[in-house]
């Protein structure tokens, strides 16, 4: 499996459009979150220097966290691609020698269960990214503040995509502890979305005025 970091933009877009199990929606969600993080990093980098000395400590801390979350977003994209490669192999397996129908169904179920992990992790990452965007918006360079809104919109899209992917795989999750964890993550989704929307509007309205 090729690391998404090594893919060209054009090549990745072409691969997503192919009739193959991965990369797909989960990879796109990871990229959306990573792009949101990178936009926030840009704003933070523009918010350094003598003019921003009074917020330098806060901006440096935000930058460090953004680098970690950007990496986690790309890790989730890679994990999702690997998981759906496994799902594709499970569906492609034909009952026959060494495997009956029940075993094939079990293999598919296990693969779909495992595929729930990446979107769940990404939803958590997105919540952390929105929190950092909220910290950065009031102290960041106003010349690029619209990019905070763009980042929030990208992160929100990643959340929405991840919810669809996680919910699609939940019926295959049989472990009660895993189910409870996923349900707790999903319960926080509306709050993350609302905070992202509020951030977009708080930035967008002064820009529009």
pLDDT 10s digits, 47-77: 999 999 999 999 999 999 999 999 999 999 9
Q: What is the DSSP letter of 127?
A: H
| pLDDT value, residue 206 | 64
How many residues are recorded in the chain?
Answer: 209
Q: What gap in Å lies between CA 109 and CA 89, rounded to an integer?
A: 12
Tens of pLDDT, residues 171-202: 999 999 999 999 999 999 999 999 999 999 98
pLDDT classification of 108: cutoffs 50, 70, 90:
confident
Tens of pLDDT, residues 145-172: 999 999 999 999 999 999 999 999 999 9
Q: Is the domain 4-204 a CATH 1.20.120.680 member?
A: yes
Token readout for 110 is 């296990």
**In the 3-class helix/strand/coil scheme, how is 79-97 assigned residue by residue?**
HHHHHHHHHHHHHHCCCEC
Task: Give, for 26, the enclosing helix (H) or strand (E).
Answer: helix 25-45
Q: Is the pLDDT of residue 207 over 70?
A: no
| pLDDT value, residue 131 | 98
Report helix, strand or coil for 3.
coil
| pLDDT value, residue 66 | 98
Q: Which of 107, 118, 109 is nearest to 83 (CA)?
A: 118
pLDDT classification of 89: cutoffs 50, 70, 90:
confident
Q: What is the DSSP letter of 48?
A: -
């Amino acid at each position: 499996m090729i690391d998404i970091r090594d893919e060209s933009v054009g090549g990745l877009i072409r691969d997503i459009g192919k009739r193959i199990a991965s990369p797909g929606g989960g990879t796109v969600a990871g990229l959306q979150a990573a792009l949101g993080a990178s936009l926030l990093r840009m704003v933070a980098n523009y918010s350094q220097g003598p003019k921003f000395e009074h917020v330098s400590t806060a901006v440096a801390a935000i930058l460090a966290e953004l680098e970690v979350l950007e990496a986690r977003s790309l890790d989730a994209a890679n994990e999702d691609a690997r998981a759906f490669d496994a799902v594709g192999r499970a569906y492609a397996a034909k009952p026959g020698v060494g495997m009956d129908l029940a075993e094939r169904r079990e293999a598919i179920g296990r693969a779909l269960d495992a595929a729930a992990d990446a979107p769940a992790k990404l939803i958590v990452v997105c919540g952390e990214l929105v929190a950092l965007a909220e910290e950065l918006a009031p102290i960041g360079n106003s010349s690029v503040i619209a990019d905070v809104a763009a980042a929030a919109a990208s992160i929100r899209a990643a959340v929405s995509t991840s919810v669809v992917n996680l919910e699609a795989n939940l019926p295959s999750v049989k472990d009660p502890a895993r189910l409870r964890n996923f349900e707790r993550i999903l319960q926080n989704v509306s709050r993350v979305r609302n905070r992202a929307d509020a951030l977009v509007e708080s930035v967008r309205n002064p820009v529009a005025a």
